Each structure stands twice: as C-alpha cells, then as structure tokens.
C-alpha cells in the first residue's frame, strides 16, 4: 500500500513498506541492506511472514447488548451506555480467536448528573482467562439532576397511578 526508500553511504539501502491483506495492515522496515534488490526482497519476506503468522480478531462493540444503569436523583431513571470504540487484538500463529471471551462490568447505580461520555464501566477481553484489553463503557447522553419540582411531579404521578391501580382491582 506504500513505501519509502532511502540510501546513504553510512545507512546503506533502507526501505519502509506497508501492505494490507484480509483487513490487516503490516509494516516492514529494512535497514542497511547491501543493495536495492535485497531491500525489496527482504521487505516482501517480512510482510509475507507477518501475514502468514498472525490474524486480527475484531469485535464490533456496537452490537453488544448493554445493561441500563439505575440513575438516582435524576429526571430519568436509567442511564443508557455505549462502548467508546470497537476492540481488536492481534492473534499470533497458534492462538485461536475462539478462545477470546469478554465480560461486561458496570457501575451498579449512578448519581445524577451524568455527563455525555462519562465512564461508567468496561468491557474486559480475555484470552484463556488472561486480560488482553478493555473498552470503556460510557454514558450515551447527558442526564440532568432532578430539581425539587421534578421530584414533586414524579411523586404525584406515582401517587395517582398507584391510587388508580388500587381502585380498579
């Protein structure tokens, strides 16, 4: 996908090369090659070795079924979460991406106000039980603190909805 060549008497023939295969990018850097043909041949060999001995595990975190977190003291009663970014991991030869698992860890409850993007949990990724990375879970929007009037209105709504339930049964 790209390259940069260079040469000096002291550094000899050098090359930085990039390649993409199967949605995976590799970089090869060759320094002090004795001639131009060798630097290109060695870069190709390094790139082929990298592609043959590794693969990328990707997890689209947007497809996760995330829990809502109860919100205390807010106008809303729950906080919606989203993942900050998707997760990827470089699997080396012999590693099986089927052995990658994840767990969702969140706050049990949070207090209003909650800002957009506030970290409220993580998705923890494990390979055979060993942590290999995390992705933050953040508030998907801003949640305001309820005012006295908001709380009074909620209390009245609950009172009248319960009173109506009692008379219909």
Give every CB contact of residue 148 below 8 A, 6+ residues apart in sequence: none
pTM, rounded to two decimals:
0.77
Residues paired with 16 in a beta bridge: 4, 29
Q: Where are the beta strands (DSSP E) in 22-165?
A: 24-33, 54-59, 69-72, 78-79, 81-83, 87-92, 100-106, 110-111, 119-127, 130-139
What are the backbone dihedrals phi and psi of residue 168, each rounded to the nearest 5 degrees, phi first? -85, -10
* pLDDT of 169: 47
Q: Which residue has the tokens 């709380």?
A: 151
Residues of the chain with pLDDT under 70: 150-151, 154-155, 162-169
The number of beta carbons lying within 10 Å of the beta carbon of residue 141 is 12
Q: What is the pLDDT of residues 8-25, one digit of tens each?
A: 999 999 999 999 998 899
> In the chain, which residue ranges form alpha helices assigned H by DSSP?
36-52, 148-168
79 near 120, Cβ under 8 Å?
yes
Which candidate, 27, 1, 99, places its Cα nearest to that of 57? 99
Pairing of strands 78-79, 87-92: unpaired
CA distance 55 to 146: 49
């Amino acid at each position: 996908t790209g390259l940069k060549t260079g040469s000096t008497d002291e550094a000899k023939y050098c090359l930085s090369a990039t390649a993409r295969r199967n949605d995976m990018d590799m970089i090869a850097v060759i320094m002090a090659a004795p001639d131009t043909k060798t630097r290109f041949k060695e870069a190709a060999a390094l790139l082929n070795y990298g592609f043959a001995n590794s693969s990328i595990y990707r997890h689209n975190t947007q497809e996760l079924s995330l829990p809502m977190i109860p919100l205390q003291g807010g106008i809303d009663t729950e906080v919606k979460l989203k993942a900050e970014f998707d997760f990827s991991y470089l699997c080396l030869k012999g590693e099986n991406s089927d052995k990658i698992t994840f767990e969702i860890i969140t706050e049990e409850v949070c207090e209003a106000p909650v800002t957009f993007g506030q970290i409220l949990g993580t998705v923890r990724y494990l390979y055979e039980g060993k942590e290999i990375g995390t992705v933050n879970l953040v508030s998907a929007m801003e949640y305001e603190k309820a005012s006295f009037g908001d709380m009074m209105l909620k209390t009245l709504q609950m009172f009248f909805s319960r009173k109506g339930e009692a008379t219909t049964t």
